[in-house]
């Protein structure tokens, strides 16, 4: 692997604080240097507890907010619904923007209260951050809270770089609108997004997915790969088995070899170095 062929990518583990196995897996992978970002579910009752372990690795990866309208935490908080319901209501403009802004503020407040710092980035659980109304509300909140900062939190734009129906659906749900706003405001973004698959198959299948994502990276543009690891499968987690497979692969030697073979280096979207 020669220096001029190195490609850079943000590898972001979603759903920190979803449950104990997820948080434990993300911290373990951060210690191993196998991640460069994670996104926190700040509505989770675990966040106040799991923040301690994440502080120990805060110099190794970007830590951001996973805005949430579709998990059980969001439902319990009174604003959440299933993904299908949220997508339809957003498409029909049935959400009031002020209502969305207030909830985004609450989730950012909950993150910062325990992290005691501004998030490095902001994205969304199941990509809600770019839905109609949601992206406009997010833009207003971002400008109010962070618009005057020298280092603004970067945004994940879910313009999916892979073929397939799921990729087209995700891309169609407002990615271009969010990107255009960010470009107009000179707001930092990281895209395209890779890492979408059916959460099925074996660990070898996931390894092949990862090899394809790594091979699809551009030398000229920083991209992001999302992942969903956990040290074990929790029974109430619909994708728990997939999380366990992802963790085993990312923690193993094969992932290191695949990164090397693809000429890829993991970097933080914030531009901060990954410190040992």
* DSSP symbols for the chain: --GGG-EEEEEEEEEETSSHHHHHHHHHHHHHT--SEEEE-TTSTTHHHHHHHHHTTTTTSEEEEEE-SSSHHHHHHTS---HHHHHHHHHTT-S-HHHHHHHHHHHHHHHHHHH-S--SEEEEGGGGGGSTTHHHHHHHHHHHHHTT-SSPPEEE---B-S-SHHHHHHHHTTHHHHHHHHHHTT--EE--EE----S-S-HHHHHHHHHHHHHT--SSS-EEEEE---SS--TT-TTHHHHHHHHHHHHSHHHHHHHHHHTEEE--TT------
Could you give the CA distance from residue 254 to residue 92 in angstroms, rounded to a whole number? 45
The pLDDT of residue 112 is 98
Answer yes or no: is pLDDT of 168 > 80: no
Per-residue pLDDT reduced to its tens digit, 90-108: 889 999 999 999 999 999 9
Per-residue pLDDT reduced to its tens digit, 113-151: 999 999 999 999 989 899 989 999 999 999 999 999 999
Q: Which CATH superfamily is domain 3-266 in?
A: Glycoside hydrolase/deacetylase (3.20.20.370)
Per-residue pLDDT reduced to its tens digit, 245-261: 999 999 999 999 999 99
What is the CB neighbour count within 10 angstroms for residue 3? 6
Every domain of the chain and the residues it spans:
3-266
């Amino acid at each position: 692997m020669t220096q001029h062929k190195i490609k850079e990518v943000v590898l972001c583990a979603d759903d920190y604080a979803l449950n104990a196995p997820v948080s434990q897996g993300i911290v373990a992978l951060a210690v191993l240097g196998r991640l460069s970002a994670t996104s926190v579910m700040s509505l989770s009752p675990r966040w106040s507890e799991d923040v301690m372990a994440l502080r120990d690795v805060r110099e190794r990866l970007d830590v951001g907010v996973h805005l949430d309208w579709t998990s059980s935490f969001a439902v319990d908080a009174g604003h959440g619904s299933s993904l299908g319901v949220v997508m339809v209501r957003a498409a029909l403009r049935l959400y009031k923007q002020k209502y969305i802004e207030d909830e985004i503020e609450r989730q950012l407040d909950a993150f910062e209260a325990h992290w005691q710092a501004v998030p490095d980035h902001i994205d969304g659980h199941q990509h809600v951050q770019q839905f109609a109304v949601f992206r406009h509300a997010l833009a207003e909140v971002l400008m109010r809270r962070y618009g005057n900062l020298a280092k603004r939190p970067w945004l994940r734009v879910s313009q999916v770089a892979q073929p397939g129906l799921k990729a087209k659906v995700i891309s169609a749900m407002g990615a271009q609108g969010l990107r255009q706003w960010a470009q107009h405001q000179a707001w930092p973004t990281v895209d395209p997004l890779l890492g979408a698959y059916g959460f099925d198959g074996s660990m070898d299948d996931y390894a092949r997915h990862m090899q394809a994502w790594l091979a699809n990276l551009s030398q000229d543009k920083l991209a992001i790969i999302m992942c969903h690891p956990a040290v074990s499968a929790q029974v109430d987690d619909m994708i728990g088995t997939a999380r366990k497979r992802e963790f085993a692969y990312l923690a193993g030697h094969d992932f290191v070899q695949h990164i090397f073979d693809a000429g890829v280096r993991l970097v933080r979207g914030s531009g901060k170095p990954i410190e040992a």
